Amino acid sequence: MKVNLKKIGAIVAGATILASTAAFGALWYGNTKLVDDNGAPVAKVVVGEKAAASDGVGAALIASRMMASAYKSVNLKGQVVGTATCTGGQASGSGTCAISDEKATIQITVPGAVAEGTYTINTLIGDYLNRRLLDRKDNNDVNDTDESYPIGGTDVSEYANPFTDGVGGNIGVSETFLYRVTGDMFAPLKTETITDSEAGKSYQEQQNIWVKGKTYYSDSDNDVVGEPSFLAYTIKFSGAADDFGIPVCTTPTGQDYNSCLLSSEPNSDRLTSSHKVKVKFLGEDWIISDMSPPTTEYGTSETQVYNGGYVKLAKESVAGLINVGESLPVDNLKFQLDDLEAHGSETAALISILDANGNLIKKDRITPGETKELNINGKLYRLHAYKLGPGYTFAAKWADMAIFAKELKLEDGQQLDPDYD
């Protein structure tokens, strides 16, 4: 175990005690150093391909001894830094500076340990990253469930291939030899309960990472090499009593969860994207800002998964419900609600962008569910309207809006642009 002296400290009654001296040790075998003075292993234990079982046992014992010796012993001597609490002495004595409630915070760095947010996959040399590890089964038999997640069958099974379309085909990706990293194995992917408080609904979100690859010993590198050939991240949502996932419209007409988008019965209040629903994406919180279903003719199958459509996820910079004359401040700007106008079934908010002195920079309009991109002095701002209340009087008009710091559009066949803000 390696101790980082720079991170050792103690806060005691407003004063700090810092480490000033240390003593070290190391592990040797004859003239060969196995663990250095910093507690880090400097040797590798390698077992040959044709080694006997007893050789593996011996190697494990050696590795265990090295691990037990991978530490650093440190002696700490206190030195007060800062302001301590002191009391004056008597006429014939000296004052005292008492330190109580003594606490120390020590950060330990383990050699070879991974950083937070990192998952390590352990394999054998010559092993394959597929459904089951540590067996060296190659990626040949798509029907062998030790190696493969076969395409076909229902998409809602716990062990379903992530790319199955539920009726025997795939949604564009046909990989089957995959190793699955779940939320039980990796905390950032843990299963989350997603709440839509406006609709009174809750969902379960399951995140998984899927990896394909192999490990082998490279003579040129003189080391064991891990070679991933495929990686995917998937999210699956399920309802409290069904596997429908998160619908575009929270209240369907019959079984049509797309109905609130139709011109015959538009209702933005039923849109999930107007409810500020927070979900996890790559371990971080994002808000669903827009959803669009696939354009494929729906209704022909209740079990088939159709690829297509898109989902937009956003992070808010500032948000709130504002009345006419009020504004959302960001940087040195104000995004002010001037008025709301209604034309038939469509309502729009009229906005003004003002500088720090109240001078008008730009005017625009925005409709419910829309994200308006505005270029102000060379910087892009994304104004989003969740809901608008047109009211019948000036005082009854309001808008629930936000300025997004980021917005992602997750669309079938597209890739994330890491340079897009």
> Mind listing the pLDDT tens digit for each residue in 346-362?
889 999 999 999 999 99
CATH number of this structure's domain 266-421, picked from the four choices 3.30.70, 3.90.1070, 2.30.30, 2.60.98: 2.60.98
Buried (b) or exposed (e) across 142-157, using 16+ Cβ within 10 A?
Answer: eebeebbbbbeeebbe
Note the pLDDT of residue 312: 95
Q: Which residue would you say has higher pLDDT here, 322 or 71?
A: 322
The segment with the largest mean pLDDT, out of 41-45, 82-86, 327-331, 390-394, is 327-331
Average pLDDT over residues 248-259: 85
Note the pLDDT of residue 24: 38
Which amino acid is present at 107? Q
Of 90-99, 125-134, 264-273, 339-348, the one with minimum mean pLDDT is 90-99
Note the pLDDT of residue 6: 29
Reply yes or no on whether the pLDDT at 188 is more than 70: yes
Note the pLDDT of residue 200: 93
Q: How confident is the model at residue 183 (pLDDT cuts 50, 70, 90)?
A: very high
Q: Which residue would you say has higher pLDDT here, 62 or 301?
A: 62
Distance between CA 164 and CA 168 in Å, rounded?
A: 7
Reply yes or no on whether the pLDDT at 198 is more than 60: yes
How far is Cα of residue 92 from the mean position of the Cα atoms in its chain? Answer: 65
The segment with the largest mean pLDDT, out of 84-88, 99-103, 223-227, 330-334, is 330-334
Note the pLDDT of residue 265: 66
Give every CB contact of residue 392 below 8 A, 6+ residues apart in sequence: none
Q: Which two tokens stand for residue 283?
A: 């371990």
Note the pLDDT of residue 10: 26
The percentage of the chain sitting over the pLDDT mark of 70, rounded to a whole number, equals: 78
Outline where 70-186 has alpha helix (H): none
Note the pLDDT of residue 413: 82
Of 17-31, 289-303, 383-397, the one with minimum mean pLDDT is 17-31
Note the pLDDT of residue 394: 66
Q: Where are the domains of the chain?
A: 2-109, 128-239, 266-421
Reply yes or no on whether the pLDDT at 418 is more than 50: yes
Selection from 271, 261, 253 nearest residue 201 by Cα: 271
- Residue indicated by tokens 């596997």: 243
The segment with the largest mean pLDDT, out of 30-34, 191-195, 392-396, is 191-195
341 to 38, 374, 384: CA distances (angstroms): 70, 20, 17
Cβ of 289: how many Cβ atoms within 10 Å?
Answer: 26
Reply yes or no on whether the pLDDT at 400 is more than 80: yes
